[in-house]
Amino acid sequence: MHPLAFAGWVGLFVTAINLLPAGQLDGGHVARALLGSRQFYLSWAAILALFGMSFVYPGWFIFGFLILMLGVRHPPPLNDLTRLDMPRKLIGVAAVVILLITFVPQPFVSVGSERNVFFEDLDRLPISRLNTTMALGASVTLSFAVNHTSSGRERIVLTIDPNNLDDPDPGFSLFFQDVTIGDTTTPVSDITVTVFLNETERAIVNLTIGAPASGWSVPVEVDFLVRAATFDGSLTRELPVFVRLT
C-alpha cells in the first residue's frame, strides 16, 4: 500500500474508534444527543461488544477497558430538554454511517513472509516467459529481474540451461552479461552467477543471446531456460526463453 493511502487508512480507523457510542468518546456525544439518557445502555453494549471482539483482535480488550475506566455514563448537557432539529439529527445519522463504513473488527493481522523466488520485469510485474526475435548472425540482450520474499539475506544461484543450444552444431552463444543490485553493476559473461539479496533488494540481469550466422533453415523457434535456485536447493524457479530466428 502507498504510504499516503496507509496514513489515510489509519486516520479512518482512529475516527471509527472515536465514533464508538460509548462513554465520552465523540460517538458517545452523538449517541447522547440522539438518544438522551438511553445512551447509557448503548454505551454498555459497545463496551461488551469490544470485549467480545477481543477474541478476534486482542487489542479491543484494551480499548474496552480504557472506556470502562474513563466512565460509561455520559453526563447530561446543560440543556437536556430542547429536542434536536432535523439537520442535527441528519448529522448524527451521518456519524453513525461513517462508523459503520470505517470500523474494522480485525484491523491488524500478523502475516508471515513466505520464502519465495520469482522472476519479474523491470516494472516489477511478474513474468513467466521471455520472447524475442532475431536474425541469423545477430545478438540480442534481454533484461529481467530476480526477486524474493525471504525475511533475511538470500543467496540465489542463476544458471542457463541451454537445451543443447550451446553444442558446436547449433552454434548459439548464451551468457549473463551483467547483474545490477542497487547501484552496483557486476560484469559476469558466464552461464552461472550467484547473487546475494537482502529483504529489499532485487537483481536486474542482462541476458545476451548470440545466434549462429548459418546452418539453420529460418524461420524457426528455439528455446532454453533460465533457472533461479536458492543456495540450499529448497526453492527452484524456471524462466523459459523463446527465440524466433528470421
Last residue of a domain, one of 37, 67, 102: 102
Q: What is the CATH number of the domain that holds 210?
A: 2.60.40.10
Last residue of a domain, one of 102, 136, 163: 102
Domain assignment present for 108:
no
Domain assignment present for 111:
no
Residue 244: which residues within 8 A CB-CB, separation 6 or more?
131, 132, 133, 134, 219, 220, 221
**Same domain for 223 and 156:** yes
Domain assignment present for 107:
no
Domain assignment present for 112:
no
Q: What domain count does the chain have?
A: 2
Domain assignment present for 156:
yes
**Same domain for 152 and 37:** no
Domain assignment present for 179:
yes
3-state class of 59 per DSSP?
helix
What does the angle CA 162 – CA 165 – CA 167 come to, to the nearest 5 degrees? 110
pLDDT digits (tens, 9 = 90+) for 120-164: 999 999 999 999 999 999 999 999 999 998 877 889 999 999 987
Q: What confidence score (pLDDT) does residue 70 get?
A: 84
Q: What residue has cell string 526475435? A: 133
**Same domain for 121 and 78:** no
Q: What residue has cell string 533460465? A: 226
**Same domain for 123 and 97:** no
Average pLDDT, the chain: 89
3-state class of 189 per DSSP?
strand
**Which domain, by its residues, includes 219?**
117-245
- Sort strands 236-245 and 130-134 into parallel, antiparallel or unpaired: parallel
Question: How far, in Å, CA of 100 to CA of 172, rounded?
Answer: 64
pLDDT digits (tens, 9 = 90+) for 67-85: 888 888 888 888 877 888 8
C-alpha distance from residue 25 to each of 47, 53, 221 (Å): 12, 19, 70
**Same domain for 126 and 83:** no
Q: What confidence score (pLDDT) does residue 45 get?
A: 92
Cβ atoms within 10 Å, residue 31: 27
Exposure string over 102-112, b if 16+ CB within 10 A, otherwise e: beeeeeeeeee
pLDDT digits (tens, 9 = 90+) for 175-184: 999 999 999 9
Last residue of a domain, one of 43, 75, 102: 102
pLDDT digits (tens, 9 = 90+) for 6-52: 899 999 999 999 999 988 888 888 988 888 888 888 899 999 999 99
**Same domain for 95 and 137:** no
Cβ atoms within 10 Å, residue 239: 20
- State if pTM tops 0.75: no
**Same domain for 58 and 148:** no
Domain assignment present for 48:
yes
**Same domain for 135 and 74:** no
Q: What confidence score (pLDDT) does residue 113 get?
A: 59
